[in-house]
Structure 1
Amino acid sequence: MVIIIGAGLSGLLTAYRLHQENIPYTILEARNRIGGRINTVQAEENTAIEMGATWFGSQHQNLINLLKELDIESFEQFTKGKSLYQANSNSPAQPIDIPPQAPSYRICGGSSHLIHTLFNLINHNNVFLNQAVTEISYDKNRFIIKANNVFTADQVVLAIPPKLWVNKIEISPSLPNELISVAKDTHTWMEESIKVGLSYKSPFWVENGLSGTLFSNSGPIVEFYDHCNHERSRYALCGFMNPAYSQLSKSEREKAVLNQIKNVFGEKASEYLEYKECIWSEELFTYDSSESQLIPHQNNGHPIFRISHFDHKLYISSTEAALQFPGYMDGAVQVANSIAKRIIRQLKEDIIT
């Protein structure tokens, strides 16, 4: 039995690869939902808004190949028209032309379409929600995992950010000191981010010759993009808010956003259907404080994460541990494929010997 801790993209894909080989597995997820840092929410009129992972590029071949394998379509991020740049709070937003660049892409139906597709390809009875793991002990070739319930396993995959398992799970015997030190200083993707989205009845920005893209030095929104669906039948704007606004209440943030977008896009921007936000620093199973200030992607992809432990029975996963594009969806796919291959190979070698 392989226990996978975390039902994000890397955890679910690892489970799917094991499922394909008829290898028993169980997923333990601390949240009351699957997906981890991929979370597509539904606003009014079934408008999908991404509160987590959203974009990928043509260089992200691990993710692209997985989407092809699962027959999931993607579409190019809308960028037609003038973009807007706001230098400071005292100056109006200026229309600008962004030089041609490599396009970004989004997943049709939302990023969670990938999550739910993987979930539907595995045994739902093997996925346990609301199971925050607190202890992992290894003795006599067996693991005992304590969460709300107690589980046993032959192998364990840590498919959650390193800073979470190193700070929140008591592992015995203890892992190497160097690994513990690196894990504590590994930046968790999205941990300080605030995602904001607003749905609309019509794409008023397109009607005004705008792409929906906004870059602002003043905030509260620092980046905003057209967030319509691929059929362009549902309309929204979505992007990032300055993390400092996490100190305000939701109503205060919404009011600040409304004031900004009215000044930037005009009065039409105030006719939104619904406001959505996610303060990732308030997500208990994503964020954990650091002893020192971490820079974005610090220690992501560190080679120490590719070392297995306890006689090749404990593996470190999550996008932060990926060899390629750590911190991105592509990294989560790469590390899941790699870990699954290693487990499958190890089990086959055990059978032979």
Structure 2
Amino acid sequence: MKACKVAVVGGGLAGLYAARALHASGIDTMLVEARGRLGGRILTADASGMPAEDGFDLGPSWYWPEMQPAMAALVAELGLRSFGQNSEGAVVFERMSREKPQRYLPAALDQQSMRLASGTAAAIRALSGQLPAERILLDTKVTAMDLAEDGVRLTVQTREGSAESLHAEIVVAALPPRLLEAAVTFTPPQDPATAARWRDTPTWMAPHAKFFAIYDKPFWRVNGLSGTAQSMVGPLVEIHDATTASGKAALFGFLGVGADQRAALGEEVLKQACLAQLARLFGPDALAPGATLLKDWAADSLTSTAADRSGGGHPIPGSPRWVSGPWEARLLLAGSETSETEPGYLAGAVIAAKRAVAEIRSKMDRE
């Protein structure tokens, strides 16, 4: 049986931040990730959809330095380059199908949204590079946690399908509470009120899908458009310029079609409908992308549960007490949704991870 002082479950931004901070404090830490890659909902991909060091963010892509100082501080600490989301040019608004889309010049932005050069996964690479490779377990899915007097026994399923055990004195669950409740069996069970809170907390991005059209140049900018559009017609409801810092041109949008309807229509039908809409909004050049990408997070079983398919709002900040009863001394939640501020956002992941690390350090100091 493998053993460690702290097991961090989930290798997204929160899990990596926590694991790196604990390791830097000299605390024996193991990071356990169900996917074959790190990043969780952070996924920077190339035109073929494969993870890339310079690509398009199929998950979260923005942060706002003034409103989210925790994320701004992390970017500075890691020495990452950032750039502003393109907003130069007119915005397009499509109110109804029988009306021609309207263009207007937006008012000045109060807060500039920023993106990381090379994509959000740059933060994942920087954090993971500060952890020993042997302390990261990929393709390892936690299926059960059993409480013992001296800690927690985690049952994990490996890529080969075998069941193994990992013992930890403390567990940091750095994944969405709803996913944790659905995917892991606890012995003894979580308090019913606690389990209900986990189930009722929406997982940010889980109901959504993002479509990308990749071009050889940002033709919309030449035509005086910012690449930003809003539509009440669809299938895309919100569209933005996704051109990378290195100049790879793209538009992306969030689909306003529900998860079940997306599954019924199929990827190819959705892609063609999205391209037709981009042509209405930005002109016929939109019909000839070099590649298209569609990432449906609701179809990702390591992000979404059945409860997420019906949609849901943004997670709402609440009590920081996410665990109760006998588990309270051994289990901490650190997914972005559990943050007291900016839940669901990149900044929320950093804040939640910092909170968990501070609690563990305090506990270790008392022992």
TM over 0.5: yes
Q: Give 1:312 shift.
A: 2.2
Say which SS state the counterpart of residue 46 (structure 2) adopts: strand
Quick check: 2:48–2:291 contact (8 Å CA) kept in 1?
yes
Q: Give 1:323 shift.
A: 1.1
| Structure-2 residue corresponding to 1:147 | 156
Moved more, 114-123 or 174-183: 174-183
Give the counterpart letter for 2:132 in structure 1: N
**Residues 1:122 and 2:126 are matched in the alignment:** no
Moved more, 275-284 or 296-305: 296-305
1-structure distance, mates of 2:141, 2:34? 4
Q: Give 1:92 shift.
A: 2.1
2-structure distance, mates of 1:310, 1:82? 53
Match of 1:304 among 315, 321, 327: 321
**Residues 1:39 and 2:43 are matched in the alignment:** yes
**Residues 1:237 and 2:237 are matched in the alignment:** no
> 1:311–1:302: structure 2 CA closer, same or farther, 3 Å change rule?
closer
Give the counterpart letter for 1:27 in structure 2: L
Q: Give 1:271 shift.
A: 2.0
Quick check: 1:49–1:238 contact (8 Å CA) kept in 2?
no
Give the counterpart letter for 1:72 in structure 2: L
Q: Deviations over 1:76-127 (max 9, x none)?
A: 1110011100012222211112221222111111001001111111112111
Quick check: 2:207–2:312 contact (8 Å CA) kept in 1?
no
| Structure-2 residue corresponding to 1:274 | 291
Match of 2:176 among 151, 161, 166: 161
**Residues 1:61 and 2:69 are matched in the alignment:** yes
> 1:308–1:224: structure 2 CA closer, same or farther, 3 Å change rule?
farther
| Structure-2 residue corresponding to 1:14 | 18
Quick check: 1:182–1:299 contact (8 Å CA) kept in 2?
no
Q: Deviations over 1:289-341 (max 9, x none)?
A: 22996741244544332769636221011001001111100000001111111
> 1:73–1:308: structure 2 CA closer, same or farther, 3 Å change rule?
farther
Match of 1:51 among 50, 58, 61: 58
Q: Give 1:175 shift.
A: 2.0
Root-mean-square deviation (CA, aligned residues, Å) is 2.0
> 1:154–1:49: structure 2 CA closer, same or farther, 3 Å change rule?
same
> 1:291–1:127: structure 2 CA closer, same or farther, 3 Å change rule?
closer
Name the TM-score, length of structure 2 as normaliser.
0.90
2-structure distance, mates of 1:291, 1:106? 27
> 1:64–1:250: structure 2 CA closer, same or farther, 3 Å change rule?
same
| Structure-2 residue corresponding to 1:347 | 364
Name the TM-score, length of structure 1 as normaliser.
0.94
Quick check: 1:9–1:36 contact (8 Å CA) kept in 2?
yes
Quick check: 1:186–1:294 contact (8 Å CA) kept in 2?
no
Q: How does 1:64-103 map to 2 (within 5 A)?
A: 64-101=72-109, 102-103=111-112
Quick check: 2:207–2:311 contact (8 Å CA) kept in 1?
no
Structure 1: gaps of 5 or more residues? none
Aligned residues: 349
Quick check: 2:68–2:347 contact (8 Å CA) kept in 1?
yes
2-structure distance, mates of 1:82, 1:333? 34
1-structure distance, mates of 2:310, 2:256? 17
1-structure distance, mates of 2:99, 2:137? 51
> 1:262–1:132: structure 2 CA closer, same or farther, 3 Å change rule?
same
| Structure-2 residue corresponding to 1:186 | 201
Moved more, 215-224 or 97-106: 97-106
Identity %, equivalent residues: 27
> 1:311–1:280: structure 2 CA closer, same or farther, 3 Å change rule?
closer
2-structure distance, mates of 1:64, 1:341? 20
Give the counterpart letter for 1:263 in structure 2: R
> 1:301–1:122: structure 2 CA closer, same or farther, 3 Å change rule?
farther
| Structure-1 residue corresponding to 2:192 | 177
**Residues 1:251 and 2:268 are matched in the alignment:** yes
Say which SS state the counterpart of residue 211 (structure 1) adopts: strand
Quick check: 1:262–1:270 contact (8 Å CA) kept in 2?
yes
> 1:272–1:311: structure 2 CA closer, same or farther, 3 Å change rule?
closer
1-structure distance, mates of 2:21, 2:249? 36
Q: Give 1:240 shift.
A: 0.8
| Structure-2 residue corresponding to 1:290 | 307
| Structure-1 residue corresponding to 2:161 | none
Quick check: 1:9–1:35 contact (8 Å CA) kept in 2?
yes
1-structure distance, mates of 2:321, 2:90? 45
Quick check: 1:199–1:235 contact (8 Å CA) kept in 2?
yes
Structure 2: gaps of 5 or more residues? 158-163
Say which SS state the counterpart of residue 304 (structure 2) adopts: coil
Say which SS state the counterpart of residue 134 (structure 1) adopts: strand
